[in-house]
Structure 1
Amino acid sequence: MSARAVVTGIGVVAPSGIGADAHWRTVLAGTRRTGPLTLFDPSGYPTRHGGEVPGFDAAGYADNRRLVQTDRWTHLGFAATRLALADAGLPERAPDPYGYAVALASSSGGNLFGQRELQRLWGGSSRTVGAYQSIAWFYAASVGQLSIHHQFKGPCGVLVAEAAGGLDSLAHAARAIRRGTPVVIAGATECPLSPYALACQLRSGMLSDVADPERAYRPFDAAASGYLPAEGGAVFVVEELAHALARGARVYGEVAGWGSTHDAVHTGPDTAGDPVQYARAMRLALDRAGVPAEAVDVVLPDALGVARYDRSEAVALRAVFGDRSPPVTTQKPLTGRAHQGGSALDVATALLAFAHDTLPASAGPDEVADGCELDFLRGHRRPRTRVALVGARGFDGFNSALVLRGAAPVRGVHG
């Protein structure tokens, strides 16, 4: 029988809070954590709000030498990985280096670091960049730094699929485990909050410019106006089941199935993603998990907050589930959209929901938009089958879906 990939550690560093406890409390309370951007002055931009990690002190998770060499996006990865390892009861340094691997996702690398260096290049008298520019800005920097620091020398890599990559990283971890690597660090963090990064996102025309952060990001709502950018995400310890049981580890759930497809269409002002290919990714994930559509307990969607994309996602979900859609819940309005980190954060939410035996109510919509009629979860409820489907789409055609089979709730879990 193929090796089974289970999650034994969760590390969250997101606008919802630092640590799984803080994230879960925010989700249950339905508290919005988006607000004015403070990492730089956004006054000259139409979008001035987003999701930032509250009270984050990178010095608590890495030494000064590594902090100087890397970007805030990697600092968030340092923190999330340490939290995940501690949660899993694993040491900071691998006892068997080649039995541990790192497979994270990234959209754009070290934006704040790169912004500072490019400003020095074009605006400073020296016309130079620092020695660490090529390292810190590189989209694989977090994987490399974590592999070096923790001595994880198994098959490491980085997944690049915009928001879909957070799910792809867990699928890649499960494949690595089936090929013989017992422990893989997976997930994603992001920090797309710099003048350059915000300008790139504004070019898409999909950012919300609503001044009230409480009403700015409203997926599937009649008042949907786009998304708010966010930093952070989640990192997981994904482990081979027998390896986890042998050391007495707590298991949150199993990465049971996955699917990825591609539209082969550039994202533009008139595109909305291909619901046929998105639905195909979901069906692939369900088929690989051996789970019929009617057995899904809850769906955590991409929830972009752009009207045409929301309608397209609803079409895909109806194609998979028909008229008997499972409950749909999204917490992205609480945190903002953290690209690859956002889909990883959805995985954390699903696993914590099963651990707490509670499916959390959806953070909207208040008024369901035409074409987005789904069974949105309006109140907390207990799981039925303990199976979650997480969906994510990345710009320029990426579609991914992940099926999680939750373990039984265990006393003493977070919160």
Structure 2
Amino acid sequence: MILAPLLLLLLLLLGAPALAATPAPAGFRALDTPNDAGRSLSLVWKASPADRADRIVQVWMAEGAAAPFKKVAEFPSNTRYVKPGDFPWWAQPAAKGDHYVKLVSSQAFPIENGKPYFVKLRVREGVQEVWSEVAEATAAPNIFNTAQANNLVFVVAFTGVLLASIAAARRNPHVHLRRIAGLDAVEEAIGRSTEMGRPILYLTGSGGMDEVSTIAATVILGEVAKKVAHYDTSLKVPHRDPIVMAVCQEIVKESYVAAGRPDAYKDDSNFFITSDQFSYTAAVDGIMLREKPAANFFMGSYFAESLLLTETGASTGAIQIAGTDSDHQLPFFVTTCDYTLIGEELYAASAYLSREPVLVGTLRGQDIGKALIMGALILGTCLATLGVLLGTDGFSYLLDLFKDFK
């Protein structure tokens, strides 16, 4: 019976050197979490060869130097590392492989901006434990998110490309643009109407002036009206929105003046029918069947009425040109119309028809920007694939430039 206590004492004495050998967290520091709105702190310390699952790290915090510490987090010591891709190389709060813990304000332990907090770590391994030094940090909001500095660089670069493209278009308004068959056919459609002595029917869609597609449709109407005034052809523009009608009246009037034919302008070329969807459709179908326009333009946003309109127009033998960003209506336009402007081709149409330097330069700048983005995607894909095949993260410095860090 006497040997049992002696053996226990001997085991404790033998375990004492192991306790002393347990390493404390090295390089421990607390700091305000960068690139956030505040109310959070970040903890950083070096990784250790002794890190493993049965070695537990506890985070203790206090609201003041004399305040009691409170445990706010606990996790195995072989977790919470900085991994590749967590932060961009230009805004890393800690080196790759170091431990990183973000403490966010909560009901259990609220963190306020501008108030100092004291933090320390407790490392437990069985009956052994060791404490780190106490670190102090103050949370504060950040005005600028440096992790997204690459986005700012791209915005500035794209703006430079746009300005350069606009300047080039001012010097040469007839700079080459990709052909769009539907826009090349506008002149043909107007000429055909003139030869046949029939009117041109132009629809601006079902949307209001707050929709981009409607704005694009009114801009295209202005260019079509200039050509109509030049050929002295009849133009009919039925509307289902009175505000759009008022805008189109002014646009058509200005187009006739710009073409030198203000006397040929007719105020009733733009007219309001009804705001009801299918009543408007029935009325426009009636116009098509009675007056048989030689050219029908369907520009803007459309819904279920699209097929009813275009099928009726196709039955009269008219040449039909459509343009919409309503992807759910595109199949109907492609099937029943001679030419269809798809998506942003509708937005680009005004630049093609008017050759306005600002519009042409903006369009060309967007195309250059898209080409650069496609090149960046291809380059990034190749580098990421090479990194996996070669087992290296050496390309991460370049790949980080194309990532959107939050």
Q: TM-score range by the shorter chain?
A: under 0.3
Structure with larger RCO (C-alpha < 8 A, sep 6+): 1
TM-score by length of 1: 0.21
More helix by share: 2
Larger radius of gyration: 2
TM-score by length of 2: 0.21
